[in-house]
Amino acid sequence: MLHELPRTEAIPELATITGAESAAMARAVMRLFERWGVNDAEARDILGGLAARTHARWKAGEPGRIDRDLATRLSLLMGIHKGLRYLFTDPERGYAWVRKPNRDFGGRTPVEVMAEGSLFALARVRSYLDSERGGW
C-alpha cells in the first residue's frame, strides 16, 4: 500500500546568502583568481564590472557590503571551482583548465567566457562543468 510522504516547506529557512557567507566567498574567490591566473581587469569583468577601488579592497581582504548580484556571482564561481575539483583529481589540472581553449566555448577559454561579464556567462561555465560531471 502506498503512503504519502510528509511534505517539506517550499521556502527554505535561509532564503538568502548571509553577509558572513558572502564575505567568506569573496575572500575565497580572490584566492581562486590567483590560482587561475586571472588578472585584475578579468577579475573585475567576471565580477560584473567591479570598480577598481572596490576590487583592490577585496584583494586586501575587505569585501564590504555585497549585493545580491555579487553574491550570486560568487556562488557561481564557487560552484565552478567545486565542479573542477570533482572532475580533476589533481587540483593543478583544474586550475589550468580555465586557461585552455575549449571547442564547446567556440575555441575560447573558460576565463574569456566568464569575463563577458554577465551572470549567464558564469552560469554557462558552471552548467558545462555540471554536465561533464553528470555525464549528461
Q: Is the pLDDT of residue 6 over 90?
A: no
- Nearest alpha-carbon partner for 70 in 87, 47, 51: 47
Domain boundaries, the chain: 19-134
pTM for the structure as a whole = 0.85
Instruction: State the pLDDT confidence band at 15, using cuts at 50, 70 and 90.
Output: low
> H-helix or E-strand containing 122?
helix 119-134
Q: What is the Cα–Cα distance from 80 to 111, expressed in whole angstroms?
A: 11
58-97: per-residue pLDDT in tens? 999 888 889 889 999 999 999 999 999 999 999 999 999 9
E-assigned strand segments in 1-134: none
Counting Cβ atoms within 10 Å, is residue 90 exposed (0-12), middle (13-18) or buried (19+)? exposed
Q: Which of 88, 103, 18, 26 has its CA nearest to residue 57?
A: 26
Average pLDDT in the chain: 89
- 81 touches 46 (CB < 8 A): no
